[in-house]
């Protein structure tokens, strides 16, 4: 029987931020092809990463977004869930974690706990690629909104956290080696958005 070919992956609106890191992604997926896309949305990052050879496991709290991700990346495994729920993969299973603008909804202790759990999801030597709201992101809520705690605001009814250099360093202080950390302006929305782009490697010392 002829093997049925999978439909082509839809790269429409793929986000270019990951393209420079695809060689690193492929390298870290060589022994463990599982890539965990946290807050995958409609699958725009997942599509690019699947085409690069990743076996995608993605989560998002929006059922509509997950439906779109499943349509865009038929080979992926996608789940509707909050990031605080147990992850749908085993500890140490992922070679790469991607979290693009999905770690900013929580208080400081809960955010640190989430990053520790993502570290646990990676195998030693695995990498996490993430984007975080910058405290300079004034177009998108970094000022002019009620404060919940330092750098954490209620923005149009939704809590949003913003990070300065020290805040980024705290997130990755234990169990990680920072490969790159850069603050930059991205053109993704109606107004410019300032983010931190971080690539961090799980160290052998963090393996449990």
pLDDT on residue 4: 36
Domains and CATH numbers, the chain: 16-134+160-206 (3.40.50.150)
Q: Looking only at Cα atoms, what is the longest distance across the chain? A: 63
Read off the pTM: 0.91
Structure tokens belonging to residue 76:
């992926």
Q: Residues 135-170: pLDDT tens digits?
A: 999 999 999 999 999 999 999 999 999 999 999 999
Closest listed residue to residue 26, CA positions, set 121, 108, 127, 163? 127
pLDDT (average), residues 170-177: 96
pLDDT at 181: 97
Tokens, residue 86: 């147990």
| pLDDT value, residue 1 | 38
- Residue 3's pLDDT is 36
Reported confidence tier of residue 5, pLDDT bands at 50, 70, 90? very low
Q: For 176-204, how does the pLDDT look when each residue is reduced to its tens digit (9 = 90+)?
A: 999 999 999 998 777 899 999 999 999 97
DSSP 85-117: SPPSS-TT-EEEEEEES-S-SS-HHHHHHHHHH
């Amino acid at each position: 029987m002829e093997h049925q070919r999978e439909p082509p992956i839809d790269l429409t609106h793929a986000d270019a931020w990951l393209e420079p890191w695809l060689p690193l992604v492929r390298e870290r997926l060589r022994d463990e092809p599982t890539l965990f896309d946290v807050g995958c949305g409609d699958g725009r990052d997942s599509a690019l990463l699947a085409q690069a050879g990743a076996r995608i496991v993605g989560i998002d709290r929006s059922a509509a977004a997950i439906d779109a991700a499943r349509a865009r990346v038929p080979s992926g495994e996608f789940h509707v869930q909050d990031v605080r729920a147990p992850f749908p993969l085993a500890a140490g299973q992922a070679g790469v974690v991607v979290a693009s603008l999905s770690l900013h909804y929580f208080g400081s202790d809960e955010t640190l706990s989430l990053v520790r759990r993502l570290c646990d999801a990676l195998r030693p030597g695995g990498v996490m690629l993430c984007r975080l709201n910058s405290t300079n992101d004034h177009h998108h809520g970094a000022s002019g909104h009620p404060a919940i705690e330092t750098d954490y605001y209620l923005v149009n009814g939704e809590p949003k956290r913003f990070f300065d250099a020290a805040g980024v360093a705290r997130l990755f202080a234990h169990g990680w080696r920072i490969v790159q950390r850069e603050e930059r302006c991205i053109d993704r929305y109606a107004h410019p958005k300032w983010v931190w782009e971080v690539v961090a490697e799980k160290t052998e010392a963090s393996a449990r």
